[in-house]
Amino acid sequence: MPPFFSPAPHAFGPIPVYLAAVNPHMLRLVGRSADGAFVHALHTTRYLREVVLPNVESGLAESGRTRKDVTINSAVFAVPMDDAAFARKAERHVRSQIAFYLSTPAYRVVAEQHGWEDIQYGLSRMARRGEWDTMADVLPESVTDEMIVRGSWAELPHMISERYHGLLDRVSYYLPFVPGEADNGWRQSIEAFASLRD
């Protein structure tokens, strides 16, 4: 192959390999072979505890590695409550995303952990009919409360840390983002996350 296709080694060490993983086979592959996992934002703590971690750990056992060898990442549906208008916008956005993702058969494993199959099938039928704008309206609070973290910008990092301790190693917010909007809130969250490392 010409040099263009075979660049010289760089000084940064091996590039970490992270895999997107939802279902058991991919999660076990993460444990066997990858440096980390990107778990979908459509998750609950039960799903993380009962599906993600056991399957990653099964793969780790096969490869002779330990939990410290894998980083588990996910976005977390978050609704900052400081400003009522922004909170309404964020709530609608994340509820719409949850409804869309939950309608997808590939993510049924999350619904199955909670007995939400009927909700999942109903959303899937709505998606096939193109009823995108009303899907969020049929989501019960019992579903969204399992997936959304709500609090002030300053509280969210502490709430997320408490909810996901021992389940996720790295997190990011899943919420509507417009550059320059809510900068003060983002600063508060960044400072709160930094305080958790001290």
Summarize pLDDT for 5-62 with one digit per residue, the tens: 777 788 898 899 999 999 999 999 999 999 999 999 999 999 999 999 999 999 999 9
| Residue-number span of the structural domain to which 97 is assigned | 3-197
User: Side chain identity at 95, as an amino acid letter?
Assistant: R
**Contacts (Cβ under 8 Å, ≥6 apart) of 137:** none
Summarize pLDDT for 54-84 with one digit per residue, the tens: 999 999 999 999 999 999 999 999 999 999 9
d(CA 194, CA 191): 5
d(CA 164, CA 166): 6
d(CA 126, CA 87): 26
CATH of the domain at 159: 3.20.20.30
Q: Please tell me what DSSP assigns to residue 7.
A: P
Domain count, the chain: 1
Summarize pLDDT for 134-193 with one digit per residue, the tens: 999 999 999 999 999 999 999 999 999 999 999 999 999 999 999 999 999 999 999 999
b/e map 154-186, b = 16+ CB within 10 Å: bbbbebbeeebeebbeebebbbbeeeeebeebe
**Contacts (Cβ under 8 Å, ≥6 apart) of 120:** 102, 103, 108, 111
Query: How many Cβ atoms are within 10 Å of 71's Cβ, its own excluded?
Result: 17
Asked if 36 contacts 30 with a C-beta cutoff of 8 angstroms, the reply is yes
